[in-house]
Chain A
Amino acid sequence: MSNRLTLPGSPTWDQIAGQFDENHNPLSIEPEPHTLGGIYAGTFAQVIRAEEETAPIPEEVPAVEQVEAPLPRAGRVSFGAIMAQLAQTSTDEPQEG
């Protein structure tokens, strides 16, 4: 006898496990509005669809690209140099009076 708790109307553990492949990726997400799992699955499916429609994920990260034009000369100054300047001027407190 199984000691797993199964709520009335909700899918069994085996049914849930059967929806995932060996890498734990969902095989399919089919909304079944009569179950709690179905409601979640439907919501996820909607979110995934919305994201796919509004923000397509790039196939791959763009390769290394040399960019010269968009940055003005000042933007090419080393970040460390600016931070060192900030550190130096932040420790030089003005004298009282």
Chain B
Amino acid sequence: MPAPNEPQVRFKGNLFARPDYFTTDVMLGATRTPSGSRVCALTSDFLLGFRDAVIYECGDAYRSVMKNCGRRWGKEFARRFDKEMAGFYQSAVKDLAAGVVHACLADAFAAHGWGTLSIDLSECEVGVLQATISNSVMPALVMESDRPSDHLMCGLLASLFTHFSGTELDAVQTECASCGASASRFLVGSPTRIAALAEWLETQEKSPSHEVALNRLLGNSPRKTEHHHHNGVPTTTH
């Protein structure tokens, strides 16, 4: 039985797998979700062309431009996700069980074609959230790169968890499929710590692994408690 302060766990199926989740009005030429939000699909050619154009226009600054695009995108997505989940579950997202939100976020990513999302909340008590996206869009398009190329998703995740936590957070990509890793991996935390880590990662000749980056980030975090992992969510022992 859940403790009184724990939310009741209930799954209502996969909202994003509903046959009518994306509804296209062919007369208006508009595709909308059940909440009325208009969505549009971007082709691979568009995304690659957009990336090339930003590189041409901005040079090395293209990474931060792409990340800011992801932030804007993530801000809108977080708002929509919040609204749709609240309508579906008749409960604010913050009041839902972490496992349910995790599953729904993964469902949303998969339904939109953004890859398979997995989040690890086990380090949240020391201010770090980890995310992994398999089959992410940009690395699959860029194919090969000496630096991580998932800037859009990096910005999206920063905005997503900024929205849910209510405090400004930033994200950095530690591993990327375009650099030979199996998936895109990210660390989300305070902007100061993430900026310091990003700066350190830039100076490394060979990209450190996600674990090395995580340990460096945690090196500045005094652990107040020990905790054990259970399916990506923390169990704290005091």
Chain A interfacial positions (CB closer than 8 Å to B): 24, 57-58, 61-68, 71-80, 82-87, 89-94
Contacts and interface: CB of A to CB of B under 8 A. Distances in A.
Contact of A65 (B7, B11, B97, B101): B11
B222 to A, nearest CB: 7
A89 B193 CA distance: 12
Interface of B: 2, 6-15, 17-19, 26-27, 92-102, 121, 124-127, 129, 161, 164-167, 169, 189-190, 192-193, 220-222, 230-231, 233-235
Instruction: Identify the 9 closest CB pairs spanning chains A and B, nearest first.
Output: A80-B94, A75-B99, A89-B127, A62-B13, A87-B167, A90-B190, A87-B165, A79-B101, A74-B233
B167 A77 contact: no
Pick from B12, B13, B124 the residue with the most CB of A within 10 Å: B124
A85 B6 CA distance: 15
Given A67-B10, A72-B231, A83 B97 contact: no
Contacts, number: 133
Q: For chain A, what secondary structure do more than half of its interface residues adopt (helix, strand, loop), or is it mixed?
A: mixed
Contacts of B27: 24
Given A58-B19, A63-B13, 16 more contacts: A24-B27, A57-B17, A61-B15, A66-B8, A66-B9, A73-B235, A75-B233, A78-B6, A78-B97, A79-B93, A79-B101, A83-B94, A83-B161, A86-B129, A87-B166, A87-B167
